[in-house]
Chains A and B, each alone.
Chain A
């Protein structure tokens, strides 16, 4: 039992934090809101640092690391509301492709090429919704590579990989334009299929679990950023002759949000560990993580807005850039309520 990150993992986190503090300011974020894109200079920088290719096998130019190594970096991505598709590309697409490499030798060369392009930052991926979901695809607009599912001849889902320029994407407006939502119209063929049958089934389950935990990690960072903004504002803003943060009514709002965040964090880290080490309850751990982090981030947004007062309700104040991402991610890959339902189902078994 040793529930802590290694020094190396912490150092990597700190390095990425430093870079993102410079490369992803709120001015940058506003620019991304105006003109969302995938392969930005920032994406190239993250690729150079090894972040984008973190879960690409070393043989294909990546670091060959796991979700446990990525989770702290996703938290940093959340802290600055990084607009590029790190979760889809690095937490979902790369491990999925790496896992399929051996299952279809005929396609190994193609898969290897995609993985290499991910590692160099040449492409950014989008991952479609889980089978049965009617949600649009996150990051569809501008994606170079899309991982999608479609029902096979037996009705069971298959996994397909298509290039962004080979599909039609109808934009769907999001509160947060950097989400680049779109409905993808495409024709599944034998040529686009990368997995079917049980292989596809287990890859989809694994992707759902990774998506829940990766998104939860981003939500931790978003929650921390919003609480920090609000605490900073509460120290500056004076009313009745003192900083509003001196009033217990304000303190208790922020303390409540902070406690939720404190307790969400180990839950997310523990879920990342349970996925990397394939424990029997990794799906349940992923669900607890997503439910906890979603609630923590929504609460942080609610409290941060309240503490800011009217200024927080303006376009000028940076808070909305973070709140909008938090609201979107809180519902993405299963809401808190969806995941509580899954947790209870896993505890009582099929009824």
Chain B
């Protein structure tokens, strides 16, 4: 959202690859030998260490959550959990292109979903940009190892798309050494099991909507925090409601300054929509599986396959377009440019691509599509349910279309 902030993506500015590129470097869509070697290293590590596809229990169960946490630890121990972070925090200090390569290999291996995703992809870029040295030292490594899993405390019952309508508040503690939080957050993914929460609270009740908000880091075990798990559409406890009753938070857990929370939060929102949350690899891998399913159905059910061919081709192309658009944007960032409202166009595209891929797969499966929990094709239905959330979270696609219209096309605010 905020121009320039997305440039950090998952990485901090000082970890970008060295700029030996002059501006008149000719276009070249090939990776360098060094990048291909990095790919090879990631591929062989993943092939040796990654659990078999879909072998871990769902991360939205207590058992699955711990199994996914253990996998994060395994990756962290060999410095694969946060490749683009600086080495001092457990990363490899590689650039954005290498991160994209790692993601390609990760999805190619069909390795587990990242239980630490909210922290690593959403909070970490904000911490790198706004955090104090003390905060970075305290929070980054445990986040990268999975020792501390984060959830996001933004949405409230009356503040969804209209995020500035937040009512949860923070007042100064009596001893003046911190803040006391009161209110309710909801739709917090991983909230049922997470150790920490990052969220926005109103510190200045007199200020106008976007002002007077502060970004807090809150330990879920703090006295006064109550968590109520909410089963999602698939029956598992992917969401939680979080109640805060007089929860004390020390000053050291304010991120980016008192009453500055909106700007800080928008940096995270940019990451969520832009480059870092959803790498193209996720969709390219699914699109590849979709084409394989199509080829298989051309043999077993050719009439249905032919009726679905156009949708299969379009879904594959949507993933390919996302891949190319990401490389286009990444190059701009590496050349010193920034990502502005394009992050909103990006979010619309990846969420609709995910739907298109899974919708086409279900159409190929026909009557088998409704079979849940059994058979090799069950992931398509789970994937479709997951994809349906895409146009809702990280700012609904309707809000993103407003951003595109107002900031890319200059239309007046409503």
Contact = CB atoms under 8 A, between A and B. Distances in A.
B317 A3 contact: no
Interface residues of A, number: 50
A235 B31 contact: no
Interface in B38-55: none
Contact of A1 (B29, B404, B411): B29
A291 B313 CA distance: 10
B312 interface: yes
Interface stretch (A17-25, A203-211, A265-273): A265-273
Interface string B387-414: 0000000000010111011101111111
Interface in A319-351: 337, 340-341, 343-344, 347-348, 351
A251 interface: yes
B376 interface: no
B325 interface: yes
A251 B406 contact: yes
B411 A251 contact: yes
B230 interface: no
A262 B325 contact: yes
A92 interface: no
Contacts of B324: 3, 266-267, 270
Contacts of B27: 2-6, 68, 269, 273
A344 B401 contact: no
A269 B313 CA distance: 20
- In this complex, the member of B324, B330, B413 whose beta carbon has the largest number of chain A beta carbons within 10 angstroms is B324
A302 to B, nearest CB: 16
- In this complex, the member of B23, B97, B298 whose beta carbon has the largest number of chain A beta carbons within 10 angstroms is B23
Interface string A271-288: 001100101000000001
B332 A291 contact: no
A121 to B, nearest CB: 27
B401 A252 contact: yes
Interface stretch (A160-168, A177-185, A242-250): A242-250
Nearest to B30: A1
B402 A251 contact: yes
A1 B409 contact: no
A181 to B, nearest CB: 28
B316 A262 contact: no
B146 to A, nearest CB: 30
A348 B345 contact: no
B96 to A, nearest CB: 10
A234 B328 CA distance: 30
Contacts of A251: 401-402, 405-406, 411, 414
A227 to B, nearest CB: 7
Given A1-B28, A245-B411, A266-B328, A347 B316 contact: yes
Contact of B409 (A231, A263, A292): A231
Given A3-B327, A4-B328, A262-B325, A270 B411 contact: no
B89 to A, nearest CB: 25
Contact of A231 (B26, B97, B327, B410): B410
A317 B152 CA distance: 50
A2 B25 CA distance: 7
A310 interface: no
Nearest to B298: A351
Contacts of A343: 313, 316-317
Contact of B321 (A4, A254, A274, A288): A288
Nearest to A247: B414
Contacts of A264: 321
Nearest to B405: A251
A1 B333 CA distance: 13
A7 interface: yes
Contacts of B295: 348, 351
Contacts of A8: 24
Interface of A: 1-8, 68, 227, 231, 234-235, 242-243, 245-248, 250-252, 254-256, 258-259, 262-267, 269-270, 273-274, 277, 279, 288, 291-292, 337, 340-341, 343-344, 347-348, 351
8 contacts: A2-B21, A4-B331, A7-B24, A234-B411, A245-B412, A248-B401, A254-B409, A340-B310
Given A2-B26, A255-B348, 6 more contacts: A231-B411, A248-B414, A254-B405, A291-B314, A340-B314, A348-B298
The 6 closest A-B CB pairs, nearest first, are: A251-B405, A245-B411, A255-B401, A340-B313, A255-B404, A266-B328
